[in-house]
Amino acid sequence: MAEFDVDVIVIGAGPGGYPAAIHAAQLGGKVVCIDADNTGGTCLNWGCIPTKTIIGSVAALEQAKHAADFGLTMSNVGFDFGAVMARKDKIVKQLVGGVAFLLNKNGVRFILGRGKIVGPNTVEATTEDGKVEKITAKSIIIATGSVPMHIPIPGLDQGGADGDVWFDNAEVKKRKAAGTLSNGALWTSNEAVSAKEVPGRLAVIGAAVVGTEFAYAYNALGSDVTMFEVMPQLLPTIDSEIAGELSKLLTKSGIKIMTGTKVVAIDLKAKKLKYTSEKGDGELEFDKVLMAVGRRPFTDGLGLEEVGIAMNKRAIAVDEYMRTNVPSIYAIGDAAGGGLAHVATREGEVAAENALGGSTKMDRRAIPACIYTEPEVAVTGLTEQQAKDAGYDVKVGRFTFKALGKALAINENVGLVKIVSEARYGEILGAHIVGPHATDLIHEVCVSMKLESTIEELMHTIHAHPTLAEAVMEAAQDVKGHSIHTVYKK
């Protein structure tokens, strides 16, 4: 009899867990994957895909509104919010089904249920109808993700339908099916992607990626949007020049962005909030208030304490092999302190290899981070300020899309590419883009950084004309003062 029932148990089937399960199976492992919600996790069901699908409709609407700029005539341009959300639900369903299909085709056994670790090699899976199955495995990979975060603003603890909106994904699914999600005045991202109508007035607390994307989308759909951010800039972690450019464009589109401003009280019944800033205090009335202040790792009820798993604040502590302090247990994705789907996926592949006896390290060079507003934002590596603070002799190159033929041809000639490099070896340290298709363009620089190529290699790579990617090449040329389409002072 085999020592264990299976080789690997993965708890969680999000963009960390399902690739981990599939990769472990590709490598010949016998694998079980458990999730209390559908396959696909936060990313497919409540995060990346629902938001980008809604934004896909919004971007098409914006294009249609600007039809005259292309010489086109179009009348009655508008939208049916129910149809926008139905399209979103259909795409989510298709992708969630696709993940279930892939797990199945790779021979992974999927259990719809809640997993609990009851020993270094044992997991108990409890299905919705209360059936409990104990499974043993050589290795366990924890991929239980995250949930929206609370912050202690007075008034948020009022209770009832408005006050207790922080659920895990399985509970969110139940409430959505019962029609009780999104009914109150307080939203998290879960309610915002499940809305039945566009709120007249939307207050957004937090101007990081999630808050900014919803502000962009709901503003374009007609909400009167006000954003509150306690830090001094929109997108606090993004290069200030890039964030400043997006801030200008979003303000022009009608969003009120209140940076350096703290929301100090919320009255969910009266639908009013109070804020304070150096410029003065004030009140705002809203129909919905979206709490977008971040997410926290979700490890509730997982049995971590019982097996002695070490934590790093609320996240599971892991080494560069994605291993916890318990040698048979790995942790990946948001549960291990991440916050990006694509990073969770690579961590899943690394954990799968190591769970089956490998020794693959997680390489964190050149991770892209993207914001799907219009125009898009995409960044990788160090900002100019971070590079200076790290002691580099920094050389920066820029190129604006307004000078680029392809950007003019598609009527999307706003924004810029900024490349940060160091003078001595020409090493590329980072890239920061706000502009059309920024989220696709960034990967050219990610590959360059991964291969440790120099600024010369990037600028001498022949780029097709006319393309948006030429802006990356010209920004690299600008580092050396050799951008052909830039006029330099003599």
CB of 86 to ligand FAD, least distance (A): 19
**Whether 432 is catalytic:** no
Strands 132-142 and 6-11, by their bridges, are parallel
Q: Return the closest-CA partner of residue 431 out of 385, 379, 353.
A: 379
CB of 113 to ligand FAD, least distance (A): 7
Amino acid identity of residue 89, one-letter, is D
Instruction: Extract the tokens encoding 462.
Output: 């022949």
Strands 224-229 and 295-297, by their bridges, are unpaired
Which C-beta is closer to ligand FAD: that of 227 or that of 394?
227
Strands 122-127 and 109-119, by their bridges, are antiparallel
CB of 44 to ligand FAD, least distance (A): 8
Which C-beta is closer to ligand FAD: that of 326 or that of 404?
326
CB of 34 to ligand FAD, least distance (A): 5
DSSP 227: E
Residues facing 434 on adjacent strands: 377, 416
Alpha helix positions (H), 144-295: 160-163, 169-178, 189-192, 209-220, 240-252
| Residues 186, 161: Cα–Cα separation, whole Å | 9
User: Which one from 23, 150, 463, 465 is the annotated catalytic residue?
Assistant: 465
The answer to whether the CB of 202 falls within 8 A of the CB of 189 is no
In the chain, what are the helix, strand and coil shares in percent, each to the nearest 5? 35, 25, 40
| Residues 53, 60: Cα–Cα separation, whole Å | 11
Residue with tokens 């458990």: 34
| Residues 31, 403: Cα–Cα separation, whole Å | 53
CB of 343 to ligand FAD, least distance (A): 7
Instruction: Extract the tokens encoding 30.
Output: 């016998």
CA of residue 314 relative to chain centroid, distance? 19
CB of 152 to ligand FAD, least distance (A): 21
Which C-beta is closer to ligand FAD: that of 39 or that of 413?
39
Which C-beta is closer to ligand FAD: that of 30 or that of 296?
296
Which C-beta is closer to ligand FAD: that of 445 or that of 455?
445
CB of 224 to ligand FAD, least distance (A): 21
What are the residues binding ligand FAD (CB under 6 A)? 11-17, 34-37, 41-43, 46-48, 51, 114-115, 143-146, 169-170, 189, 210, 298, 302, 333-335, 338-342, 344
| Residues 185, 290: Cα–Cα separation, whole Å | 9
Which C-beta is closer to ligand FAD: that of 127 or that of 276?
127
Which C-beta is closer to ligand FAD: that of 206 or that of 397?
206
Q: Please name the residues in contact with 477: beta carbons below 8 A apart, sequence gap of 6 or more.
A: 397, 399, 459, 483, 484
| Residues 90, 176: Cα–Cα separation, whole Å | 15
Which C-beta is closer to ligand FAD: that of 103 or that of 344?
344
Considering just the CA atoms, what is the radius of gyration of the chain in Å?
24
Which C-beta is closer to ligand FAD: that of 355 or that of 475?
355
445 φ, ψ to 5°?
Answer: -75, -35
Amino acid identity of residue 7, one-letter, is D
Please provide the DSSP assignment of 356-401 as one string: TT--PPP--TT--EEE-SSSEEEEEE--HHHHHHTT--EEEEEEEG
Question: Could you give the residue numbers annotated as active site?
Answer: 465
